[in-house]
Structure 1
């Protein structure tokens, strides 16, 4: 799960969080007015139609940034699966053909990178950019990406003007007073109202279950009898829901950096769990920075480095760096380090330059680029989808007292992300479109063994998620990368993990028991 937004002025967001909202009542015939049997029947109708229609593949539009020989197309799905003859939307898909011989080809491999709100259209570029980790899998599979409903080129939704969304500096997410909290709550209501005004017809149907149904329709349109799938982060939850709804449609499934699918965890508790995990991984990174004080000069101990963070944050609060980077923007940039080991050195370098008297690298890295129109549209859209899906997937606490108590308690021990994360999700407290009960993820008849990969100290999807999915999907195998914490580990160089993922995708074979791998290489300054 990726987050990058916090509230600032005029109902806009920033890197780190969202908030509260009162949305308009759903239109008649919204998703929850029907039973799941109706939706299952509608999904079967849609898949049958898609299988007959196929996909009209063509060169990708120039502004999609997808080079030949990648091809693009669309798959038509119902907005509301309970009404398969009602309003339709189009799901954008792309593919690159398997690079091996016809005898080597095993079908299509679909991919979701997470979010909710992430686009998977760049997945085929792992072939055009010659990603060695995936080279052998690419011989056997067409690599297929897609924009989930509401994302990118698939009936995109929006909540606010993209320029306003990225504009900074935003308000400090850590409140100093009850007045600060009230201001954030009001901004949340404005944001949620914007979602309803701009995208109200889509919101009741922006659920993980509907995205899983879309995935099955795409499978059918590709002419595939069964799904081969790789999901990362939120993509693991999408895969878990798909595997529960369509167990006998799964051929191979790899899930990497796992959302805890326990229905009591979706989604309020999941976000509280992140606050704790981010603090732990931030400490790992700061310890690494201290170990390399000869390169960064930010302190020789964790305590000294952490104090530098406190000092930097206070300086940005007093006067935003370059007039653009306040505490919220700093959190948005610095959270990259707990997310990804590949960002340990870049974040430390920008911070080190600031401490040495050159603030520009940090400003350039953390401030919004208002000239990046396409990027800002994508950022706002991704945040809108994140909010819509998490709010529609499950019931959320409606009492501000509970939100306030839980986040005040956590902030005392885990201050890095707690309040930023709270504001990110607070719109769900008053989201008035239909809310469903989360899917009870379980092993259904016909589900083959699933491969699960997880690092021990992942901040965005804590390790317990992989353990829970392993329990829920009988016969699955868990690869644990010990003493590591990067998010999304199947695309990192670690032969222990890479070889097992490749063997599974190519042969379907798994180890006889769960596996522990040594960590991938530690970053160097």
Structure 2
């Protein structure tokens, strides 16, 4: 079982083109009185940049990339109580010191995505920014090389894929919730004390220590998908330190657990409708056809050339991945046609791409980190009984994705070892510099409505809305010269566009 990511799959979407969350910890005793990191925190350390090494997420990048380690408190309310190491990566500005503006920090979302592995593959889209900024990213706490959490082994992960994420009877429902509880127990065993210290608010505090260690007076930041929630939380905690912040593919900061699931059901169904229109199909008829295919697969999984079976859950996951990028829509057509003919090979390959499974059967751990972060953040945890009552509404929103996302609201953090913190994050940032909020009308994972909510919640004079009438997850670097030039002008020259600007 895996909910649809609000950013970790950005990496998969980028790879296809080339070939989400909860609240945050806002407890009063967690916020120093002046809004800054505690004075005794390790913010004054110097970063020792050196050659990057291969990591669990991939091979070492080229020589233009450097890596370093930043020590941060495990518990920001007790800065002398022990530290953890965060892995950082950077490429220095190419335009010389006289043109350099500082560092531009990237978070690609998830939560749970590795910035260390993602930034080098994303940097090709940011050549103009690279002239004047050091491009910097990191693995947030609990992710990959920063004390990354692995909750179960490869064999257990593959076995878990046989669990039906949309249970049809009592036996399947029992298996669904037992698997969820077992996953949480595995996370507790693997993470220990860290399980209670991977919240979005704590990562935002890490970012301010990063800013100081990088030598920047203000934080310049580019957050994508879940990275927009993280950026909003940073702006709330440290409004006086906000430099130039871009939030692209924006998470709705007002949504709770059920609200996020409904948003994604709406977003993915909208993207599916747009895909079906692009192929000349009526969206309602096409949706019924795909829903019927999934029902047949539920009753009898499809064979594949690998010998593994394509289950309904894997098929749904396989349909989701190409919707992240319009360039991948032809891949979806081919996979659906093959599945209609009884061959699940292509949909299984797409699901494996989403689930980070390589041909040898090894899995990545993005969804493990995503789960430990979001389950600490989110306070709302619907019971199985409450979820069942919501299922008709989810099915109405999306006949293809609704039931999956509905059940996920109860299963994702079922019997989780630590309590959730809040219903939704606080992102109001009075006094902060203008923050550029970029919404894409066809975004499947973070629907456009969330961008408007973020701009409103940041506050008047802070949230500045830019709309792109496009498809796919995220707007910058997706083919709109209007979006790219507007974002670049903001980041490079400080030019704030008129609030409400629309790019077509």
TM-score normalised per structure 2: 0.86
2:426 maps to which of 440, 448, 464: 440
Tell me by how many angstroms 1:506 deviates. 0.6
Q: CA offset at residue 82 of structure 1?
A: 1.1
1:167 offset after TM fit, Å?
A: 4.7
In structure 2, do the counterparts of structure 1 residues 326 and 154 end up closer, same or farther at CA, with 3 Å as the change threshold?
Answer: same
User: Which consecutive residues of structure 2, in runs of 5 or more, have no partner in the other structure?
Assistant: 6-19
CA–CA separation in structure 2 for the residues paired with 1:375 and 1:143:
30
Summarize the Cα distance change of 1:316–1:434 in structure 2 as closer, same or farther, 3 Å threshold: closer
Quote the Cα distance in structure 2 between the aligned partners of 1:147 and 1:344: 30
**Structure 1 stretch displaced more, 227-236 or 435-444:** 435-444
How large is the RMSD of aligned CA atoms in angstroms?
Answer: 2.8
User: In 1, distance between residues paired with 2:50 and 2:260?
Assistant: 40
Identify the residue that residue 321 of structure 1 maps to in structure 2: 303
Residues 471 and 314 of structure 1, relative CA distance in 2, 3 Å threshold: closer
Partner of 1:94: 89
CA contact (8 A) 1:159 1:384 kept: yes
Aligned to 1:210: 202
What residue is the counterpart of 1:258 in the other structure? 250
Cα deviation, residue 313, structure 1:
2.2
Summarize deviations over 1:396-438 as a string: whole Å, max 9, x none. 1353322221134312442322332244442435334143234
Q: CA deviation at 1:201?
A: 1.5
Shift of 1:258: 0.8
Q: 1:235 aligns with which of 197, 221, 227?
A: 227
List aligned pairs for 1:341-490, cutoff 5 A.
341-355=326-340, 360-367=345-352, 372=359, 376=363, 378=364, 381-425=365-409, 426-437=411-422, 438-445=424-431, 447-473=432-458, 474-475=460-461, 476-482=463-469, 484-490=470-476
Alignment of 1:10-409 (within 5 A): 35-37=29-31, 43-45=37-39, 49-51=42-44, 53-63=45-55, 64-65=58-59, 66-122=61-117, 124-125=119-120, 131=124, 133-167=125-159, 170-262=162-254, 265-289=255-279, 291=280, 300-303=281-284, 305-317=286-298, 318-322=300-304, 323-355=308-340, 360-367=345-352, 372=359, 376=363, 378=364, 381-409=365-393
Q: 1:172-192: CA deviations, max 9, x gaps?
A: 333322443233122212222
Deviation of 1:492 (Å): 1.1
The aligned length equals 472
**1:325–1:366: 8 Å Cα contact kept in structure 2?**
no
- Are residues 152 and 172 of structure 1, via their aligned partners in 2, closer, same or farther at CA, if it must alter by over 3 Å? same
**Is 2:47–2:70's contact at 8 Å kept on the other side of the alignment?**
yes
| 2:496 is the alignment partner of 1:514 | no
Does the 8 Å contact 1:192/1:427 carry over to 2? Answer: no
8 Å contact from structure 2 (residues 40, 79) kept in 1: yes
Q: TM-score, normalised by structure 1?
A: 0.83
Whole-Å separation in 2 of the counterparts to 1:466 and 1:370: 32
What is the rounded CA distance, in whole Å, between the counterparts of 1:465 and 1:32 in structure 2? 21
